Chains A and B, each alone.
Chain A
Amino acid sequence: MTHAAELHAQPEHGAHGHHDHSHDHHDPGFWRKWVFSTDHKMIGIQYTVTGLAFLMFGFGLMMVMRWSIANGAAPFPNWCGPFLHSIFGDAVFEKAFDPNTKAFVGWSLSTQGYNVFGAMHGTIMVFFGIVPIAFAGFANFVLPLQIGTVDMAFPRINMASFWSFFISCVIMVLSFFVDGSAAKSGWTNYPPLAGVADTGPAFHPVMNGGTLWLIGMVFNITASLLGSINFIATVVQLRAPGMTWGRLPFFVWAQFITAYLLLLAFPPLESAAIMNLFDRAFGSSFFMPTGLVVNGMNFDGQPLQFSGGGSPILWQHLFWFLAHPEVYVLILPGIGMVTEIIACNCRKPIWGYKAMVGAIFALAFLSFIVWAHHMYMTGMGPKVSAFFQTTTIIISVPSVILLTALLLSLWGGSIRFNTPMCFATAFLPMFGIGGLTGIPLAFNAVDLYMHDTYYIIAHFHYIVAPGTIFAIFAGVYHWFPKATGRMMNETLGKLHFWGSLVAINCLFMPMFLQGMAGVHRRWWDGGASAYATTVQPVLYWNQKISVAAWALGAVQLLFIVNFCWSIIRGKKVTSDNPWHATTLEWDTPTPPPHGNFIKEITVYRGPYEYSVPGADKDYTPQSEPPSGASAPVLGHVAVPAHA
């Protein structure tokens, strides 16, 4: 019966598709198709490519900082020092002189420059790299396909979201080139420093690093707001017939919950950004305490010109009310991608699908009541600390459920270790290390000692770098054939994987040791000048860590080469479903045309029906009717998208 309905539906839809084809692909022209596109797939690709570029940029900032840390703020070698100075200017790089001869020897990173790069590395990696790729990029491309619909619920709002994000990118990049360079108060932008940095008569009232950071964030937040509304509405409203909540792929669940986190957690940061803008532009005192005195920075130890009565702690509350849920915004899309890839490459269903969905609900709820564990140092007292310690420990339970379910999913599978699966498998222990090292930090007593040390740096980088970024790589390798119609090179991919895995562990593992020894995250010369006596035994790691960082950077060149080369020359896919996966995105032509599906999509089963006993092949697509019909209706029809 379904078969008949399918046949009946097809010609009608084919005609419809043809009409669209002429309407949407011949009329729109270059600008509507590639730049101001409302197609969710193009917007996803735009987000991903922009985000990947920012990941490289943010990584580059860090590699410059690592030179300063490794070599005690020594000048840069002459093949890159003058070049870096010519780009970033005097605010970031200063002349270094030989102590004896007083001769100019080269350019070194200034203390202020280290602050700029540190603040912008964090900002760019979190708000301009990982979230745009893992959430906006992948969800835009994959989510509407996986729920079997034609596009997002609000395509024009989707386009507005990307372009709002793009404006924020332009503002952030421009801010490097104003007087005093970009924001320098850390990615957390803590006042009162964030209220006074780059203010005063020497600076332009708007075109200065701190103010541009805030304006850029307002655009970024607007983009994420538009995106999150769109994703939630799409999942609720546009699921294909038969795609019940219990049949949603886990990736869709993860992005759905992430969208809620962004929707509800980001606005308070926008409030805080508005207050900080008021402080900077109108001299108000939301975050400026009475009688604040700052040395240096053109203020010469005079009490600052503020009416007073403000509270720097208020910023921390508003910031972390966003930024703790933001941690789960960073990791949930990664877990979603890894889940899809593990199920597909183990050829068996995910273990504990319902428990995982429950776990991310719990995670999302709890993530709103743990924020003050970032603020133990503010001295909020044992009672408040006890509350946040408790919720923080509780939130590790759903995280462990997720990790356990994914580990158990590997059990007894016939695993295909292709490049996406390598990255997805490596995600599990890396995320595990990052998560387990966070448990001590939940406790007030430990955190007072560990706060702002390299232990923290290592802990959260294990979550987001070999965690989410590995998941992003896995996702790129996995969905690349659907987006381009070509496979990425497997050999280069494996080299990229093993190189990254080794280098990234050499990079972050020693940081735990340094951090426990007390090395602080904001020493621009790696602690060589001021704190050498207290941390001497671990300072030799500085150079080794930096070498690992540069090696990691070099390995990423393999990815860039592979990515660009495969778009043009990669091996063409011979099937619409090259991985033999079950979810709906593989039911489309390759690459999917505008409107995605060329046949009526009805969902008959759960998302992970791999190796079903008695089935004629080891995967049963979600859209395959349950009857034992002899000829599978939904075979791999390779339909040229742009005939």
Chain B
Amino acid sequence: MEIPYTVTPRPDTGLANPKLGIWLFLASEVMLFGGLFSGYIFMRLGAEPWMWPHGWLNVPVGTFNTFVLIASSVTVILSWEALKMRNFKAFKGWMALTWLCGLLFLAVKLSYEWPAKFSHFGAYIKKESAEKYETWLGNEGPDGRLARGLPPRLFISGHPKTWAEVSDPKAKEIVLAAIDEENEKPKSEENDKAHFIPRDMVHLHEGHEVKLDKADLIYGYGPFYPKLNTYLACYFMITGLHGLHVLGGVLVFMYFWGPGAKLYKTNPVQFTNRIEVSGLFWHLVDLIWIFVFPLFYLL
């Protein structure tokens, strides 16, 4: 028993089965990420202006990753083209570049982008307690944010003296040993706008430390986890799921580059089809990132 059109296209549809299958799968992926992106839009439109942060991500690093991913989309095409020309050696090279780019993308995510969030402390101040922390928020007065027509700043971030205070339910207070520049100079116009590179942290001297009473904080204070605010929840969910897609693609490419390449000797047409089909998936992963990048890094 043999299933027809697994390798050669059916004349009247012009497609081989796997190519149709992957396009259908991509359609469902578009709906999956479409659901997530519409969730993002819904959340953002409904968010209070002081709740939705800007400029938290490092734009040059994100741009670098964008180029890495686009480059890998090009190399995967070149590897397919090399196979079409029956140039197996060139295929090996381009394919290795492809999954190396994928790995590089993941390495940047895993070594810098995500962990940077886990060591940063942030807390939203309840509106009724904002006055207590005015020194760090800079909302009041003729040169305050409110007078300048900006939404109030109700967020203090930096590094706690000890993380134990943050997680210990008995501790009533959190002491910050360093804070972000936005809080150090809250009324400076330099800090009104988002920056491509997140600002430096300012270390505070003994006696000048910021003391945060937990009763004044909105739940979710702590590292930049999804529970801190909805922006981070969207960020981790969408980039996390996208990262899983990258990982899946890398594993598939490594297989076709390594043990899976044996098929080339017995059935080069089918092997070339496999590269084309997995390449189509890779382009979608790339395309999703093209949406992720502006939504989270730039807007």
Contacts and interface: CB of A to CB of B under 8 A. Distances in A.
A306 B51 CA distance: 13
A157 B20 CA distance: 14
A225 B22 CA distance: 12
A43 to B, nearest CB: 15
Interface stretch (A44-52, A68-76, A275-283): A275-283
A589 to B, nearest CB: 14
Given A229-B21, A307-B228, A309-B230, A236 B13 contact: yes
A520 B200 CA distance: 59
A150 B2 contact: yes
A278 B230 contact: no
Contacts of B17: 153-154, 233, 237-238
A236 B46 contact: no
A603 to B, nearest CB: 14
A268 B38 CA distance: 9
A349 to B, nearest CB: 26
Contact of A311 (B10, B33, B43): B43
A270 B36 CA distance: 9
Contact of A271 (B32, B220, B228): B32
A139 B32 CA distance: 25
B263 interface: no
> Looking at chain A, what size class is its interface with the partner chain?
35 or more
Given A233-B17, A236-B15, A263 B229 contact: no
Interface string B190-231: 000000000000000000000000000011100001111110
A225 B233 CA distance: 26
Interface in A563-604: 594-595
Interface in A438-481: none
A151 interface: yes
B29 interface: yes
Contact of B24 (A233, A307, A595): A233
Contacts of B232: 284
Interface in B229-243: 229-230, 232-233, 236-237, 241
B211 to A, nearest CB: 22
A237 B10 contact: yes
A275 B24 contact: no
Interface in A191-250: 225, 228-230, 232-233, 236-238
A310 B220 contact: no
Contacts of B226: 278, 282-284
Given A153-B17, A236-B20, A271-B39, A24 B34 contact: no
Contact of A306 (B3, B38, B46, B220): B220
Contact of B1 (A264, A266, A595): A595
Binding site of A, secondary structure by majority: helix, strand, loop or mixed? Answer: helix
A155 interface: yes
A275 B230 CA distance: 11
A490 interface: no
Nearest to B15: A237
A151 B6 CA distance: 12
Contacts of A595: 1
B24 A268 contact: no
B150 interface: no
B3 A282 contact: no
Contacts of B1: 20, 24, 150-151, 594-595
Contacts of A264: 27-28, 31
A308 interface: yes
Contacts, number: 152
B4 A149 contact: yes
Contact of A237 (B4, B43, B124): B4
A268 B227 contact: no
B218 A311 contact: no
B291 interface: no
A263 B27 contact: yes
Given A286-B39, A314-B39, A594-B1, A306 B219 contact: yes
Contacts of A155: 3
A549 B156 CA distance: 60
A278 B232 CA distance: 11
A305 B218 CA distance: 9
B151 to A, nearest CB: 14
B220 to A, nearest CB: 3
A272 interface: yes
Contacts of B233: 275, 278, 282, 284-286
Contacts of A278: 226, 233, 236-237
A321 B32 CA distance: 12
A308 B126 CA distance: 12
A545 interface: no
B218 A308 contact: yes
A237 B20 contact: yes
A237 B219 contact: no
A267 interface: yes
B35 A318 contact: yes
Contacts of A267: 28-29, 31-32, 34-35
Contacts of B16: 237
A318 B36 CA distance: 10
A433 to B, nearest CB: 33
B21 A307 contact: no
Contact of B36 (A150, A154, A236, A271): A271
B47 interface: yes
B43 A307 contact: no
A459 B259 CA distance: 57
A308 B229 CA distance: 8
Contacts of B228: 307
A274 interface: yes
Most A C-beta atoms less than 10 A away, residue of B29, B46, B124: B46
B48 interface: yes
21 contacts: A24-B1, A150-B2, A150-B4, A153-B3, A157-B21, A233-B17, A237-B20, A268-B31, A268-B34, A268-B38, A271-B34, A272-B39, A278-B233, A282-B225, A284-B237, A306-B220, A307-B219, A309-B43, A314-B43, A318-B38, A594-B1
Name the 3 nearest CB pairs between A and B, nearest first: A271-B35, A307-B220, A283-B227
Given A232-B20, A263-B27, A264-B27, 20 more contacts: A24-B1, A153-B3, A233-B20, A237-B5, A263-B31, A267-B35, A270-B32, A272-B39, A274-B241, A278-B226, A278-B233, A282-B233, A283-B225, A307-B219, A310-B230, A311-B42, A311-B46, A314-B39, A314-B42, A318-B39
